[in-house]
Amino acid sequence: MPPTLETLMSRLRLRQLRLLMALDECGSIHKAAEQVAISQPGATRALNEIESTLGSPLFLRSARGLQANDLGRCVIRYARLIQTDVAHLREEMIGIQQGYGGHLAVGGTMGAIAAIVETIVKVRAEQPSLSLQVIEDTSEGLLRLLDHGRIDVALCRSNFGRRPGDYECHGHFPEPLWVVANPGHPLVEVGQPDFTTLARQAWIVYPVSMPRMLEQEFVTAGLSQPVQAIEISSTYAILAMLERDKGVLALLPERIAREQVERGHLARVSYCFKTRNPAFEMLWRRDRELSPVARRFIECYDSEEQSGGKIC
């Protein structure tokens, strides 16, 4: 039976977690003990204490050394997350004590990343020592990171969460979409292709909402055949594939698409989707107080919007 949370909180120590990471990196008690500056018997004793607390072995022992088992890999992964959090704690403490800095972790879907970057530039101008982390992911992935405390604020869609009521929702930001392709795609020269023509093409889409939009567009057009969709969750990978493949179309947020078209990297295909992409929101957990720098990020975002900056 797994230990209770109270047991873990009272018996696990940061030094023990550091030893687990060293054991994973070194593969032997001797080398790990040297890395964390304790004796080999001390390292052996500490490992036994950890495994006793967790009620299960964490490593496979063999003549070649130690190798983490499934449970061990899980514990080590969380040990690294805790180490990262402690580092962020230290950075934020320094920032508070010196009157600047701090740490901010923000996540966004593909269409929101440009908005995040523009706002962060403004925040950094005020706080150049700010420690920053920006993550691009799907709404589902971002809400999971928000739930686990890995990010402070997310620009995504709350309806992808299991409990949308857990989040404070700020703003309602539309995300118009363009159909784009490599400038060499045959449909670029077609005036206004109908959806029956487009339906025969291969599409690159960002998961999860865009595949649904394509499917809905099929239904609206009275077509039953499944869409040939390539799901890619990286903006860079989508743009790289469009650059190299003249036979695919992509559905991109207007902000990203317009920039690429103006640079001549992509071309717009003249088709207007009847299905609308849901707007995204700025979200954070109701049960967690925002840090001063996270609140400042939200203020700067609002200021950019009100000043007419085309941030979305």
| 103-113 residue pLDDT tens | 899 999 988 88
Tell me which of 1.10.340.70, 1.10.10.10, 3.40.50.720, 3.40.50.2300 is the CATH number of domain 5-81. Answer: 1.10.10.10
Q: Matching CATH topology for 100-174+279-306 and 177-269?
A: yes
Condensed to tens digits (0 to 9), the pLDDT of residues 16-54 reads: 999 999 999 999 999 999 999 999 999 999 999 999 999
Beta strand residue intervals within 153-226, DSSP E: 153-156, 167-173, 177-181, 202-205
Q: Tell me yes or no: is domain 100-174+279-306 CATH 3.40.190.10.
A: yes
The per-residue pLDDT for 116 is 92
Out of 67-76, 126-135, 273-282, 297-306, least confident range: 297-306
Q: Tell me, what's the pLDDT at 308?
A: 45
Structure tokens at 61: 């022992």
Q: Phi and psi for 143 in degrees, rounded to 5?
A: -65, -35
- Could you give the count of Cα atoms lying within 13 Å of 161 in the half-sphere of its Cβ? 24
Long-range (24+ apart) CB contacts under 8 A made by 188-193 are: 188/267, 188/268, 188/269, 190/269, 190/270, 191/270, 192/270, 192/271, 193/269, 193/270, 193/271
16 and 78 Cβ atoms separated by less than 8 Å: no
pLDDT bracket for residue 191 (50, 70, 90): confident
Does the bond joining 205 to the residue before it have cis omega, within 30 degrees of 0?
A: no
> Candidates 3.40.190.290, 3.20.20.70, 3.40.50.2300, 3.90.180.10; correct CATH number of 177-269?
3.40.190.290
Q: Which helix (H) or strand (E) holds 230?
A: strand 228-231
The pLDDT, as a whole number, for residue 211 is: 80
Q: Is 102 left (phi over 0), alpha (psi -120 to 50) or beta?
A: left
- Write the CA distances from 211 to 157, 166, 169, 205, integer angstroms: 15, 26, 25, 6
Query: How confident is the model over 215-219, as a mean pLDDT?
Result: 82
Q: Is residue 60 over pLDDT 50?
A: yes
pLDDT the model gives residue 272: 82
Give the pLDDT band of residue 121 (cuts 50, 70, 90).
very high
User: Mean pLDDT throughout 198-211?
Assistant: 85
For the chain, the structural domain boundaries read: 5-81, 100-174+279-306, 177-269
Record the tokens describing residue 109, joined without a space: 């879907």
